[in-house]
Every structure is written in structure tokens, then in C-alpha cells.
Structure 1
């Protein structure tokens, strides 16, 4: 097997594992708030990747902090939306982030290429079929779409920041740590009981959280250790041995993998109309990326 085929096989494995993150997180939303899921997942991941923070360049740390703050809101919208809609529908809407970068170019006054226009038509048709199949557009879908826009802006920002990075994995470790810190601050300010009058409620709250963290530790270990820390390393290795076009086409099938695992994990099924919408969305994603410029930032965007 050539190095290129090994790289393609690695990226296929990456996409399959990414596809499991949607049903895995959806499974946790019945017990935990979205921010607790984000905090636990990224705290575990940064523990694994912490060696890359040792003697990291200051500019890499600065980039990681900036990117991490944006990434936190990406996940906040995504997981909040997951609590209100199916995991496969959330995955397909979130996958539209690949169209956000060229759309940002349009807002900057640059006319879109024909492939982008075609990709947008396919994506809109796919969304219409998907929503027709799964019910009217809801708040969970809006949150997932906001997450897609945030992910698109994040990828564009990362593309700029990684051009001057000394070590890409140092930037990644710094941003994952920043996501964990942002989630902890968000919890303390908005969710955790505070004040002298909340002592009894606070005790019940932390007992509930502690007990459920122990009960669901395999889910969190899988999300933090496997889906984030380990898969990022495999993704960097795989993409370094493939072309940007090959990687983009492989990544476009992530929502399909999410729908596949959502069926077996959560029993979420789609009708023929829903799969038609899914196929149109994936086609739009592939068309938008084919023969696009290399986007090294996408290699380090954890899903």
C-alpha cells in the first residue's frame, strides 16, 4: 500500500469516527447541559495534548487562545441544537460550514465561482428535502446553522493563523484548552448554583453532576480521548499524505457517517426523501471543495 493510500485510509477512519460524535453527544444531552459536555470532552483532550504546550511559541499560544474562543461558540451552538433535533439532521446542517468560507468571500465583494453557485443550489435543495422529511424548521436547526456559520468563520480564521504557526499541534492544543476554560467560565457564570442561599441546591447539583460523570465516563472518554485527541493526530498524519481535493471529498461524507451511526446508536431513521436531501447536501459540499485552494486549517478543526 502506497503512502497516499495509507493517508486516504486514515482520513476515511477519521470521518467514520467523526460521524459517531453526533449520536454520542446526542445521547448525553438527556442528562447533561451542552456546556458540561463541551467542558468534559475538551478537558480530557487537552490533558492528552498538553505535551505540545511545553515550550510552545508565544505566537502559537496567542493564536490558539483566539481560535479556541471562536471554537467554543461553534460547539455551544452545535450541542445546544443537538438537544432539540435529531443527530443526523444536526450533522447535515453543521456540514454546511464548508460553504461559509466562499460565502464570506462574496460578502467581501468577490463574485462567486460557478461551482460555488452550483454547490449552494444543491445545498438549499438538500436542506429543503431534509426538512420536508423530518418536519418544519425549528430552533434546533437554527442553532445548528449558527454553528455551521461559526465553524466556517473558524476555518477561515485558522487558515490565516496557521500560515505563521511554528507548530500546528501546539496551536491545536492551545485552542482545545481554551475551549475547556471558556466552558468552565460559562458554567460558573450561568449554570452552577452561586451564593450563600444556594448551598443546599449547590450540594444537590454537584452530587448529580458527579454521579452522572461517573456513570457516563465511557462516553466522555471516547469523545475526549478518541474523537478529539487521537483523531486529530491521525488526521494531521493522513492529510499530509493526500491532496487537498481528496481530503475535501472524504470530509464531505461525515454527515452521512453521522446518519449511519445515528441509526444504529439511537435508532434515528430517515426516509427515501431524507436520504435524497442528504445526497444533495453531500454533493453540494463536494462541488464546493473540488479544485478549491488548499485549506490546511481544515486539517485541525476537531469535530
Structure 2
């Protein structure tokens, strides 16, 4: 009975990755009008309000686990979005995609070597990421921010693997982490950004109305629904498998950026997408069981 759950978990993470790819051009579009912290606050506050009824049955333990995940996720998004404002959507997706290396590295530090299939899958995924998104430009401050964000995202993926198995309610865990991201954004905004960059509220309200579709898409689908699905999916798969599946995100981002922002793909992009898909397939190869071995 474990295999069907694992298969459903992997399918859930594939759906998560497909939707995540579309968030890069959506957020890139918003960075023209809003700072990173405003985008995160509006997006996660909207999602938190939608999921708030789940807190009626929250336990202190689940709230504590969700708070840890939320604080880590806030760092991921702040660094990613600050970097996205300074580079292209495709390149930001590539650098963020390097989080595929972080999860097995964390496992090595803990004394756990990744399986051979995961090593091969990671190698294919990294080759695919380079072929798909590397544009040959000089390294920039935006790339550095995205790289630091990739590290924290890898930490977040590993935390999800561990904490989702300890939580009694996945929806409470999801809701709390989303609300903590919104609260961290509000704190950052109040203490750091607003004192230095006061907001003209009529201009802000007009910009929010003009970009309502992007915010609703990000808040309702890409956050409330997708983070809930991701939390469930990672409970039924390993962090290494999740990291390789997430490596497909830049391919989705590149396709979305082409239609959304007009960012183009070359033959290298197609080759990169093929390598990423190959990496995902290899990551799911199961070692052959010796004859005569029966599993429950």
C-alpha cells in the first residue's frame, strides 16, 4: 500500500512544479510595480485568509512546526524576488533550480549518501538546467541573491520531508506556514521598508487593482492550493526525489516566460527540457528486488 501513496505524492509534486513555473513571469511582471516584500505580503495574506478556518483545530505542536517552515519560506521568497527584479525570469529560474544540489548535500552532511539513481538524476537535471537557462551573461547581484535563496529553498525542502511526518494535521501546518510568511513580510515592511520608502496609498491601490489578476492567481492557486498540495506530496516522497522533480520548474518557467513576457527559448532550451525530464524519470527508477523477496 506504500507504493500507491508514493506515486500519488510524486504526481502531486509534478503538478506543484508545473504551476510554480508559471509564477516566475507573474512575479517578474509584478516587480515592475511592487517591491519584493509587498508581493509576498499580498500573496500570502490572501492565501492565509482563505485557509484560516483550518486553524480552528490547530495544536501547539503543529503551529510550532509551521512557524519554522514559514520563516524559512519567507527567506526563500525574499531572496528569490529581490534577485528576480535584477535579472531575467529564465536566469532566475536556473539559479533557483540549483536547490536540487542542496538536498543531497544536506543528506551527506548528516552522513546519508544519496542513492545512485538520485546522483544520476541530479547530474542530468543540472545539465538540463545549464542548457535550458544559461544565457552566457556575467554573474550579477541578482544571481547571488537567487543562489542564496536556492540554498534556503533546499533547506526548506528537507524540512518539509521531516516535519510533514511529525505533524498531526497537514492543513494546519500549511496554514500556519503561509500566515507566518505574511507576518514576516508585514514586520519587514513596517520596520525596514516603509520608514525608508513611504507609500503613496492612492498609487498603491491603483497598482493593486491593475495587477489583481496576477495577485489572485498567485495567492489562490499558486500559494493556498499549491503549497497545500506540496505539503501533502512531500509527506509521501523523499526530499531527494522532490528536489529532482522541482528541477523541472525552470522548463515550465521558460515556457511560461515565452508566452507571458516574450522571453525566447533556443534549441538549447529544448535539449535542457529533455534532460530535465530524463532526470525525473531516472529519479523514479527503483532497484530491482532479488527473486523470492516478497513485500507487504
Tell me the equivalent position of 1:149: 151
**How far 1:50 moved relative to its partner?**
0.3
Give 1:87's aligned residue.
Answer: 89
Structure 2 counterpart of 1:213? 208
Please point out which of 162, 165, 183 is paired with 2:164.
162
Aligned to 1:47: 49
Distance 1:71 1:13, change over 3 A: closer
Matching residue of 1:17:
19
Q: Select the residue among 254, 258, 261 that pairs with 1:259.
A: 254
2:264 paired residue number: 269
Looking at structure 1, the residues matched to 134 and 73 of structure 2 have their Cα atoms a distance apart, in angstroms, of 30
Equivalent position SS for 1:157: helix
Q: What are the ranges of 5 or more consecutive residues in structure 1 without an aligned counterpart?
A: 195-200, 293-303
Change (3 A) 1:236 1:142: closer
Alignment of 1:1-303 (within 5 A): 13-129=15-131, 133-193=135-195, 202=198, 205-233=200-228, 251-281=246-276, 283-284=278-279, 287=282, 291=286
* TM-score normalised by L of structure 1: 0.79
Distance 1:97 1:155 in 2: 9
Deviations 1:18-77 (A, max 9, x none): 221111001001111011100000000000000111130110111111111111001011
Q: Which moved further from structure 2: 32-41 or 248-257?
A: 248-257
Name the CA distance, whole Å, in 2 between partners of 1:8 and 1:117.
Answer: 18
Aligned-residue offset at 1:124: 4.7
- Would the alpha carbon gap of residues 174 and 131 (structure 1) be closer, same or farther in structure 2, given more than 3 Å must change? closer
Q: Would you say the 8 A contact 2:124–2:278 is kept in 1?
A: yes
Indicate the larger mover: 17-26 or 119-128: 119-128
Return the alpha-carbon distance in structure 2 between the equivalents of residues 219 and 85 of structure 1: 20
Which sections of structure 2, spanning at least 5 residues, go unmatched?
Answer: 288-296
The 3-state SS of whatever aligns with 2:33 is coil
Question: Conserved in 2, the CA contact under 8 Å of 1:248 and 1:290?
Answer: no
Distance 1:139 1:94 in 2: 14
Q: Distance in 2 between matches of 1:238 and 1:121?
A: 23
Contact kept? 1:10, 1:238, Cα under 8 Å: yes
Measured on the aligned residues, the alpha-carbon RMSD in Å equals 3.3
**Cα gap change, 1:8 to 1:114, in 2 (>3 Å):** closer
Separation in 1, partners of 2:163, 2:232? 20
Query: Contact 1:67/1:158 (CA < 8 Å) preserved in 2?
Result: yes
Q: CA deviation at 1:81?
A: 1.5
Closer/same/farther in 2, CA of residues 136 and 19 from structure 1, 3 Å limit: same
Q: Distance in 2 between matches of 1:75 and 1:183?
A: 10
> How far, CA to CA, are the matches of 2:234 and 2:157 in structure 1?
16
- 1:161 Cα deviation from its structure 2 partner: 1.8
Instruction: Rate the CA distance shift 1:100–1:12 in 2: closer, same or farther, 3 A.
Output: closer
Does structure 1 conserve the Cα–Cα contact (< 8 Å) formed by 2:44 and 2:219?
Answer: yes
Return 140-149 or 272-281, whichever deviates more: 272-281
C-alpha change, 1:279 and 1:82, in structure 2 (3 Å) is farther
